[in-house]
Amino acid sequence: MKLIHYALCMGALAIAAKYCHAQSASETVHHAHAPSVSGSAVDAPTVNPLRDAGVAQADRSAALAAIAKGSSISIAAATLEQIEACDACLARNDLASILAAQPAADLKALAPTLVSKANESAKDASKDASKDASKDASKDASKDASKDASKDATNKSTSRFVKAACIRAIFALPESDRPAQASAWKPRMLKTTTVPGKMAWDPKEFTVASNAIVAIEMINPDSMQHNLLVCSPGSLSEIGVAADKLGEGAVGKQREYVPDSQKVLEIMGLTAPNTTGVLWFIAPAKPGTYPLVCTYPGHWRMMNGKLKVQ
């Protein structure tokens, strides 16, 4: 067993070495070094600061400020609008972070809307609307049934993303300023730390209740950047291999090595050395073991864990 573990470690390290570069602690989360990409900058994908990964928070904030100014609303209100428009886009967690960082006065003014949307989202998620449509799709009865199933699944996911962002913003307020309804929400606060030089988390396994409000904090004292994805049961290898392939081109760098797959459920973007990443989400309704994985090329074989939903 020791020889097998050693072989796996050496293999993962070899792949990671192909892509990784040492980074200084002063690098920001989204501008840390990434795998080198051949070709000219002209080939790089066009980036939308409010939809794509790999964008500095300052650039996202500037875009939001422009929208807020043009609409004569607070940046908090503009950010919430963009979170809803974002749907399952790669910027969703960054936008949620920006919303939670807004001045307390603005969040307090927005609190009734945040609570309303969180409660509406809870109803949508609890219905598990895609269940019946998924059955129809599995029968391969028609293309329309498949479209309905996909649409229902998207609506369900969207509601969960919005709910998590709204709840996170409410909990960013001082406890004395939170709406009374927030007392019914009991976030499950989780914390993990990257182990320097080991491509591992400590701890790497967690247990939560289905539909629980979950917040994971990842402290990264390592010299490399890492992300953290929550994926569908049984998809670790599929997502990991797809992530390694993303290391070969500009699209992968722009996506921060997050595979374009419906099996990727939640995303904490790349977190630079000596910084901390945070991800709030609603745990899946279906019990099971959901892989946690870092998808920076070469990391996934060693840097993975489990979210057990009961």
The pLDDT of residue 47 is 86
For 143: left if phi > 0, alpha if psi spans -120 to 50, otherwise beta; the answer is: alpha
Our CA dihedral for 133, 136, 142, 145, rounded to 10 degrees, sits at: 0
Write the CA distances from 253 to 123, 199, 250, 270, integer angstroms: 37, 20, 5, 11
> What architecture is domain 186-309?
Sandwich (2.60)
The pLDDT of residue 125 is 39
The pLDDT of residue 44 is 55
Domain ranges of the chain: 57-183, 186-309
pLDDT, averaged in runs of 10, over the chain (310 residues):
43 43 35 41 70 93 97 98 91 96 97 92 42 42 42 50 96 96 94 96 98 97 97 97 91 92 96 97 97 96 97
The pLDDT of residue 29 is 35
Burial class for 87, CB neighbours closer than 10 Å (0-12, 13-18, 19+): middle
